[in-house]
Amino acid sequence: MEQPTGTLSIVSTPIGNLADISNRAIDCLQNADLVACEDTRHSGILFRAHDISTRRISLHRHNEASRSEQILGMLAEGKHIAYISDAGTPLVCDPGARLVHLAASANNNIQVIPGPCAVIAALAGSGFPADRFYFGGFLSTKKIARTRELEHALTREETSVFFDSPHRIESTLGIINDLDPLRPLVIGRELTKKFEEFRRGSAQSLVEKFRQKRHKGEIVLILSGTRIPSWMKPHVTDNAG
């Protein structure tokens, strides 16, 4: 088999707290020939915090096709290219799948450096079963489509996880309240950041809390499945954790 020519490293970066990055990830970013970033200005904050001076170029959903071809040319020369998204593990609701597929198809070495991921962080903090779960990405901005997505989630046995906007979470909770007001939910907000919080309770109770106060920051919504274990039922409460 033909030997790999270059190496593409998929590097996970913090989802909020800049200290949440591994030594291996820092070493990779410092020693790569080039780092492709979803947003070079955003990644500059991380680079300054960890004394990383490697040259950066942008790779986002609007230029991924053309930029991937450029990176493939560098990989063909035996270069080591790292790719990071704005936060967390690349390709999870972020661009990069095209780049990884093309690089692998060209027989380059693909290296993954694992780390922070908002989905896993939210699941870990929810206290809901995570042996199996469904991840639906960002909920639709259209209310009809969002309602359909939530209807499907409420029929699943396993836990469901979605990303949502702070501007839409009140509407989303209202939809769930109409469909299943007593369904246990957890809302993770500003994960790993200074004002991180988990709000727990039924859709009925949480929609009232979010109507009373506007919330900022990124939202992860976790819905319990229909298969609620016996150890969980007595402890479903309505509170902020």
Whether 82 and 36 have beta carbons less than 8 Å apart is answered as yes
**146/223 Cα distance (integer angstroms):** 14
Domains of the chain: 7-113 (3.40.1010.10), 118-240 (3.30.950.10)
State residue 208's pLDDT score: 83
State residue 218's pLDDT score: 87
Low-confidence ranges of the chain (pLDDT < 50): 240-241
Q: CA 47, 51, 54: angle at the middle one, nearest 5?
A: 65
Whether 86 and 39 have beta carbons less than 8 Å apart is answered as yes
Residue 116, number of CB atoms within 10 A of its CB? 21
State residue 67's pLDDT score: 94
State residue 241's pLDDT score: 47
DSSP string, 126-184: H-S--SSEEEEEEPPSSHHHHHHHHHHHHH-SSEEEEEE-TTTHHHHHHHHHHH-TT-E
State residue 4's pLDDT score: 62
